[in-house]
Structure 1
Amino acid sequence: MASVKNLKKEINYVLGDLVNIVYIWEMTNGGKPTEGTDVLVDEIYDNYDNFVSRIRDRKVENKKAHYKQIRAEYETVANQIVAKINELK
């Protein structure tokens, strides 16, 4: 498994890019945030905070399984957010 440092970087880069995509979408569709985009950005930030706090948790027994579960959940959440971005109108 890749290092924890790389997992943190990947989460940071991907979720950060998703926030940028939402802002770019806003700029190309009127230039003002909508209620849907605000909720989506808040969801991205909440997920980021959740993943980073779970990565920093040092009280886990099986670290390898813990990080593997975080990666699986992160990939699922990222795909769900991409689907929500594609549904923006």
Structure 2
Amino acid sequence: MSSIKLFKKEINNTIGAFVEQVYEWELSHPEADLKSSEKLVDKAIALFDDLIQKIHEEKRKKEKTTFGPLRQSLQKSLEALEKELDKLA
């Protein structure tokens, strides 16, 4: 069972890694329109804000049961964002 602090770090690191991927894509495609990649970064930041808000809203009696759906939501959302990034190339 992980603590809230560790789960927040996991969210931060995971979304931060995705944002870095987007920035690397921007550097490797200087001729591309950056508006679409900026939208992906905005979506990632919105996902971060949403997950952190959900952590604070939940009345947690059992952290493991609360974090499970949130962790799945994080993974599914990031997979969708990564597919969008792949479509940009």
TM-score range, shorter-chain basis? Answer: 0.7 to 0.9
Regions of 4+ moved over 4 Å: 60-63
What residue in structure 2 maps to residue 42 of structure 1? 42
Secondary structure in 2 matching 1:2: coil
Shift of 1:31: 6.8
What residue in structure 2 maps to residue 29 of structure 1? 29
Q: Give the unaligned 5+ runs of structure 1.
A: none
Report the residue type matching 1:46 in the other structure: A
Pairwise CA RMSD of aligned residues? 2.0
Report the residue type matching 1:47 in the other structure: L
Q: Give the unaligned 5+ runs of structure 2.
A: none
Identity %: 26
Matches of 1:83 and 1:52 in 2, distance apart? 23
| TM-score normalised to structure 1 length | 0.84
Secondary structure in 2 matching 1:68: helix
**1:51/1:39 Cα in 2 relative to 1: closer, same or farther (>3 Å)?**
same
Matches of 1:52 and 1:8 in 2, distance apart? 7
More off after superposition, 2-11 vs 46-55: 2-11
Deviations along 1:5-60, whole A, 9 cap, x unmatched? 22111110010111111011101111776121011111000000000111122545
What residue in structure 2 maps to residue 4 of structure 1? 4
What residue in structure 2 maps to residue 76 of structure 1? 76
Q: How many residues are matched?
A: 89
Matches of 1:46 and 1:72 in 2, distance apart? 16
What residue in structure 2 maps to residue 19 of structure 1? 19
